[in-house]
Amino acid sequence: MQRAIRIAAAATRRALSSSAARASPPPPRGPLAPGWGATRWLCSGREALSYDVVIVGAGPAGLAAAIRLKQLCRAADTDLSVCVLEKGSEVGAHVLSGNVFEPRALDELIPKWRQEDSPIRVPVSSDKFWLLTKNQAWTLPSPFDNKGNYVISLSQLVRWMATKAEELGVEVYPGFAASELQESQPMMLVLLRMVPKGKLFNLV
């Protein structure tokens, strides 16, 4: 799917570069005008893609934001074009952590994830806390309580979340690093906050 998007983007780029002289800027629009979808136009001879919401980073926070936005759009019977830019060559390429995963936030975001083919499969069976010296290992009382949590690969989780986002109509572009804000365009700013305890991510 992501490969198909890149091929389509390249084909569009070729088509647009041959008709650059005919291109005109997009019609005026409000930042939240519903139903527009992404518009393609040329800016200083370069192709530009215009979205209602651009999210930088296909980590858990960015993808959760994209999924939630599209869910809210569906509930409100409207649409926003949403894209996620990821500087890694593919989603998950820069998200390398093994992870003890607390699933409450995902329960809220995708309530039926347990019935799906998600990469969250290994429940934590016990916690052990050791003090290791050169020759000995001391068992200490565990400060952790991971009952109900899972051991996952975060990289696999974000790949799966990206497919869920795409199913909702989000466009995910790996291989694109965001470098600057184009402040002349109307824009919507999404603020993401990581909550270290309780929820893995929150949209504020």
Report 137-166 residues binding ligand FAD (CB under 6 A): 154
Site string (67-106) toward ligand FAD, x via CB under 6 A: ------------------xxxx-----xx-x-xx------
Question: Strand, helix or coil at 105?
Answer: helix
Q: Which residues contact 103 (CB under 8 A, 6 or more apart)?
A: 113, 120, 148, 149, 150
Q: Which is nearer to ligand FAD, 131 or 191 (CB)?
A: 191
Report 179-198 residues binding ligand FAD (CB under 6 A): 194
Least distance (Å) from ligand FAD to the CB of residue 151?
9
Site string (26-65) toward ligand FAD, x via CB under 6 A: ------------------------------xxxxxxx---
| Using rule CB under 6 A, residue 178 touches ligand FAD | yes
Report 100-139 residues binding ligand FAD (CB under 6 A): 100
Least distance (Å) from ligand FAD to the CB of residue 104?
11
Residue 54, number of CB atoms within 10 A of its CB: 23
Q: Partners of 153 in the beta sheet?
A: 98
Least distance (Å) from ligand FAD to the CB of residue 49?
15
Least distance (Å) from ligand FAD to the CB of residue 97?
4
| Using rule CB under 6 A, residue 199 touches ligand FAD | no
Q: Which is nearer to ligand FAD, 122 or 194 (CB)?
A: 194
Q: Partners of 6 in the beta sheet?
A: none
Comparing every residue's Cβ against ligand FAD, the nearest one is: 59
Q: Which is nearer to ligand FAD, 50 or 99 (CB)?
A: 99
Residue type, position 152, single letter: I
Handedness of CA 64, 161, 118, 121 (dihedral sign): negative
Cα separations in angstroms, 75 against 12, 70, 72, 142, 162: 32, 9, 5, 43, 20
Q: What is the DSSP string of 41-89?
A: EEETTEEEEE-SEEEE--SHHHHHHHHHHHHHHHHTT----EEEEE-SS
Asked if 62 and 56 touch (Cβ cutoff 8 Å), the reply is yes
Chain positions contacting ligand FAD, by CB under 6 A: 56-62, 85-88, 94-95, 97, 99-100, 154, 177-178, 194, 200
